[in-house]
Each structure stands twice: as C-alpha cells, then as structure tokens.
C-alpha cells in the first residue's frame, strides 16, 4: 500500500508541477515586456498555455487512471467481490430519461459505472451530472445544475406496472409528473404513509396507491430513512420497471483524487463511503425478502 501511495503521489506532483511551471512562464515572464523583450514573452506565454492545457491534461489523466485502477478497483473488490468497474462509462442518457424521475436539462454526463451483486441483490451505480444551459435576451448564458451525484439501481423480484416516486424534502428538479398538463396515464399523485416521521422527511407520489403500499414495505422505509441519515446529500427513490432507483444529490464528483494535496485517510474513507452506500442499503432492505431477490 505504501508503495502505491508513493506512486500515486508521484503522479500528483507531476500535475501540480505543470501548474507551477505554467504560472512561472505566464506570470513570471511579464517583466520581459518592460525591458523590451515582448516577443520573448509571447513565446513564454504560449509555452505556458501549452503546459496548462495539453501537458496538464495528459498528466492529470494518468494520475486519475492510476488512482481508479489501483485504489478504487482494489477497494471495490474487497467490499463487493466480483463486481465490475468501468471508470469511463456510465448510464446512457436515455436510460435515465426513461425512468421519468428527473428533469433532464440540456447537458448530461455519466461515468464511474459499477455493476455487481451483493447479498443476492443485483445492482448498478454510476456518477450522473445533469445540467441545463440557458441564454437570456442579452446573450448571457447561465448553467443550472439539476443533479451531481450517484445513481444506484437495485433489481427487484416484484412485478409492477405503475411507478412510485419518493422524494426527500429539499431534493430539487425531480420530475414529479403530477401536473394536470401531464397525460393522465403518466400522471402521479401525492399520498401519505402511516409513518408520520417518514412523511415529514419524504414526499411520496404514485399512480396506484394499492401498488405503492405493496412496494413501500416497512423494510424499504427503514432503509430509506437510514440512507437519508447517512447520505452526503438529499435522496430520491423511484420504483420503475421492476427496479428500485436510488439517487443521491451529493453535489460533487465521487471517486476522484485530490489534485492540490496528498491523498489522505479522509479521502480513503470517502471512497469507502461510495461502496458503503450500496452495501448498507442492501443489508437494510434485505430484511424484507419479499422485495429483493
């Protein structure tokens, strides 16, 4: 482990060295202008830009690749043996759109895809970023982030046709589909559970209440309360096409190493948190085998 940490730190220092040399060339070369060597400064400036844009990009890519292939993959196999990890892949945009759970905006990206089975429950997860870019009448562009976090999918062994959506209070940009302008066949309506504490934390929407109560078992509700308490962001859950979708809006990119400081024990715990979000939820909801395989 120590050898791997030293190698990782070596990659990181190459990235930061690129920033430093670019800064020296671009800023440190300014006095050349005042002594009549403006053309030489142009050369220094261009060299600094090349370092900052191209060399830094290559070195940062090598650094992140080593981090993910060495630390993330190894830790994942220790916590969830047999799982597959594809750092550069994610959920297709149409897959997320097809759930009908989120407003989709105009910009989409997904990476750090993981697929596996834990305690007999098949799962998938990936980082998902959804943003919307708009331009006003003056030509000013604004980007609004709808979601930046993890999207987890758990296989269910129950068949259900209608869908159920559970949104933690404070989770923004969920596609609740309860407007009168939504087709009746797709429209959801709000309902209350018998658990007052659960109702205080979550808004529940469905198309069929009988089916919703069939799916929203005490084990599931307990798991959602536990996940909400431990998660690093607001959560949303949806039962769609025999799958349970769990979304955590952490407002950050996970499984990414720090650039301007050494990898620490706290960073190591952050990586473990990503996988614990899967294992902890499965262990809790597995109390009710009626839902999951």
- Give the rounded distance of the alpha carbon of 77 from its chain centre: 20
Q: What are the residues whose beta carbons fall under 8 Å from the beta carbon of 50, sequence distance 6 or more?
A: none
CA distance 184 to 265: 51
Average per-residue pLDDT in the chain? 88
- Spatial distance between the Cα atoms of 225 and 230, rounded to a whole number of angstroms: 9
> What is the phi/psi pair of residue 37, to 5°?
-110, 50
pLDDT at 50 over 70: yes
Q: What is the pLDDT of residues 201-216, one digit of tens each?
A: 999 999 989 888 888 8
First to last CA, the chain: 36
Residue 41, C-beta contacts closer than 8 angstroms, at least 6 positions apart:
29, 30, 32, 33
Which of 281 and 31 is assigned the larger pLDDT? Answer: 281
Whether the CB-CB separation of 105 and 132 falls below 8 Å is answered with yes
Instruction: State the Cα angle at 135 between 131 and 137, rounded to 5°.
Output: 160
Say what the pLDDT of residue 287 is.
44
């Amino acid at each position: 482990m120590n050898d791997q940490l030293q190698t990782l730190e070596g990659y990181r220092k190459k990235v930061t060295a690129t920033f430093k040399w670019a800064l020296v060339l671009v800023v440190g070369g300014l006095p050349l202008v005042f002594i009549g060597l403006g053309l030489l400064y142009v050369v220094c400036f261009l060299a600094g830009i090349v370092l900052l844009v191209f060399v830094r990009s290559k070195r940062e890519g090598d650094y992140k690749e080593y981090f993910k292939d060495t630390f993330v993959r190894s830790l994942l196999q220790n916590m969830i043996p047999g799982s597959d990890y594809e750092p550069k892949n994610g959920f297709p945009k149409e897959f997320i759109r097809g759930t009908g759970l989120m407003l989709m905006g105009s910009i989409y990206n997904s990476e750090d895809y993981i697929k596996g089975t834990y305690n007999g429950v098949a799962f998938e997860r990936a980082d998902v970023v959804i943003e919307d870019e708009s331009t006003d009448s003056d030509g000013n562009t604004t980007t609004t982030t709808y979601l930046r976090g993890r999207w987890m999918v758990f296989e269910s062994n129950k068949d259900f046709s209608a869908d159920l959506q559970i949104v933690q209070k404070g989770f923004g940009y969920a596609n609740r589909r309860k407007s009168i302008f939504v087709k009746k066949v797709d429209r959801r309506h709000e309902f209350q559970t018998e658990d007052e504490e659960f109702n205080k934390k979550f808004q529940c929407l469905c198309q069929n209440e009988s089916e919703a109560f069939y799916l929203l078992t005490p084990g599931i509700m307990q798991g959602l309360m536990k996940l909400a308490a431990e998660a690093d962001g607001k959560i949303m859950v949806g039962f769609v096409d025999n799958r349970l979708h769990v979304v955590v809006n952490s407002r950050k990119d996970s499984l990414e190493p720090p650039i301007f400081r050494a990898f620490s024990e706290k960073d190591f715990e952050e990586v473990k948190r990503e996988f614990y979000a899967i294992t902890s939820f499965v262990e809790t909801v597995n109390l009710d085998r009626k839902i999951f395989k």
